[in-house]
Structure 1
């Protein structure tokens, strides 16, 4: 396991774009295993991600898991890399870096092949099951992003059981090693904005609901170390949940509408009362993704739908 992969990037897209760090996040975008290999939602999201990148000169994209429905890929030569990724996200503007984590459907297949594909594609950056990123903010400051594998931490789910919880890690040592690594990354970060990105949500009101394993072990770390926000997918909609504990606030953003849209609110009563700030699941609007912009003074997160309509914007401030 790589102890820490640190990637320092400056925006070099022209003077008009040097005032902020800009990037996109999308989850659950993984197409179909049979012809036509993509969904109308995935096609619309890809087009709008490209248009937003053209307009705002975003630097990179975070892919939050379930990169290939329904059973991942078999090997590094699997045709799904072309059918679901290269042929859909083919726009020139989306040739910028992609940073990925694996989801439950990816773990049904060969995640090591997805990692190996990093050697086949200049834009596909998946160096290990979990890793850390660090980006400089134009004008001063740093954003750290801790990319985690929630399936290795918590175990996989049964796709045939609605709302199934992870069944526990298949390898306890691998899980414990990652927990220790996460604690070290969060404890040592001095970043102005500290994000954690994984597939399973901590909190969600939708089909799968909160993830018990992450509630038990990740959530206390988020508050202890002053994490700015946790980004996830898994549930196929857009959500913002803002929760305070012991005077500290963490924002939870679910961005899982890259391929399907599911309007379930089955777990609305399973998150702390009053913490849900936004929920969206309109299938006719063709999915959605997140646009994030960071300056030395604040970070804004905007949900955008598959018709490029800004849906909701929220502002976060530097860690104290």
Structure 2
């Protein structure tokens, strides 16, 4: 009997080890959403950030221009760079702010496509679990919001990452704000896992175009400027795996900045509603190709070998256009 008990203990120990290893492996896999491209292999989408204000601060005007561009490009989906609902996220799954700031604003036929969204710091001030809840998809089937995940669009993979927990000030000096850190603590372990998941996903990607999207900037000439912890911990990974574009919001403006050590481009689209802050930092730097301190959004047109980025203002005018050949790595301003 003693012998059986000992063997049973060994077996249980081995099973436990396998379970822990399997769990750890699973935790380093980002959920992936497959989104097919058009029959001709092209991919078009819009990028918008910092928008949810029940139509105010020109949010409705930007939405109308998105309608026009979305129809012209026959977009496949929309990406949101976070701060989806102001000022303090959602209060719960039945919060009317979801319908009033999203469903009732982006009503155009051309925008009835999937919206892939990450969380911003303002979203963390509300009920984060509500904003992540699948229940919201019952209200509006377009809505897909997770902390970190991958959109596999055949010729491009878009790695959506949760950057808010990387900013220490939200933990140490929250002022009068209350952040919902459920699912994030302990913070250091969470950050390490996000970076591990991102690096693993990038290392396995065979997509023609690699795009990483988060809320906070790596490089920005706007109000908030560079996010140093992202410069230290994200940027080396993006360079290592030849990421083409890093897209973000947070600064309420439109920007295009080039990396000084790689072909990586920093594309800021956080002008979905409230903008015009007027406090820019270093916009005359050589690496800053475009800065617009006003409302607007960005479009991305991809083929297997070509990319075209356009920035539109609140009137629908193209304020900046940039092209790249994937084969020649040649950019045209």
TM-score (normalizing by structure 1):
0.84
Q: How does 1:121-140 map to 2 (within 5 A)?
A: 121-126=140-145, 128-136=146-154
Taking the aligned partners of 1:28 and 1:170, their CA distance within structure 2 comes to 27
More displaced 10-residue stretch of structure 1: 146-155 or 61-70: 146-155
Q: Distance in 1 between matches of 2:28 and 2:150?
A: 9
Aligned to 1:231: 247
Unmatched 5+ stretches in structure 2: 1-26, 177-183
**C-alpha contact 1:292 1:300 (8 A) present in aligned 2:** yes
Q: 1:75 to 1:2 in 2, by over 3 A?
A: farther
Q: Quick one: structure 1 residues 4 and 38, their matched pair in 2 at CA, closer, same or farther if it must change by over 3 Å? A: same
Paired residue for 1:290?
Answer: 298
Q: Which residue of 2 aligns with 1:34?
A: none
Pairwise CA RMSD = 2.3
Change (3 A) 1:156 1:44: farther
Is residue 2:288 matched to residue 1:276?
yes
| Distance in 1 between residues matched to 2:28 and 2:139, nearest whole Å | 20
Confirm whether residue 308 of structure 1 aligns to residue 316 of structure 2. yes
Structure 1 residue 312, shift from structure 2 partner: 0.7
2:76 aligned to which of 59, 70, 84: 59
Q: Find 2:274's aligned residue among 256, 260, 273.
A: 260
In the other structure, the counterpart of 1:77 is: 94
Q: Flag the structure with larger Rg.
A: 2
- Secondary structure of the 1:244 match is coil
Residue of structure 1 aligned with 2:49, choices 27, 30, 35: 27
* Pair 1:180 & 2:196 matched: yes
Alpha-carbon distance in structure 2 between the residues aligned to 1:112 and 1:232: 22
1:232-257 superposed Cα distances (whole Å, 9 cap, x missing partner): 00011100000121xx2210011111
1: CA distance, partners of 2:147 / 2:28: 10
Structure 1 gap ranges (5+): 32-36, 137-141, 162-167
Q: Give 1:89 deviation, angstroms.
A: 1.0
Please give the alpha-carbon distance, in whole angstroms, between the structure 2 residues aligned to 1:59 and 1:98. 10
Residues 69, 156 of structure 1: CA spacing in aligned structure 2 closer, same or farther, 3 A cutoff?
farther
Whether the 8 Å contact between 1:155 and 1:170 is mirrored in structure 2 is: no
Query: Do the aligned residues in 1 keep the contact of 2:29 with 2:201 (CA within 8 Å)?
Result: no
TM-superposed CA distance for 1:82, in Å, is 1.0
Work out the CA distance in 2 between the residues paired with 1:172 and 1:84: 33
How many Å separate the matches in 2 of 1:156 and 1:120?
34
1:91 aligns with 2:125: no
**1:182 positional shift:** 1.0
Give the TM-score normalised by structure 2: 0.81
1:48 aligned partner: 65
Cα offset for 1:221?
A: 0.9
Q: Is the 8 A contact 1:152 1:170 kept in 2?
A: no
Q: CA deviation at 1:4?
A: 2.9
Provide the rounded CA distance (Å) in 1 between the counterparts of 2:41 and 2:198. Answer: 30
Report how many aligned residue pairs link the two structures: 291
CA distance in 2, matches of 1:113, 1:155: 23
Is 1:107 aligned with 2:124?
Answer: yes
Q: 1:212 is matched with which residue: 220, 223, 228?
A: 228
Shift of 1:318: 2.5
Q: C-alpha distance in 2, partners of 1:149/1:250? A: 20
**Partner SS state of residue 304, structure 1:** strand
Structure 1 position 118 matched with structure 2 position 137 = yes
- SS of match in other structure, 1:66: coil
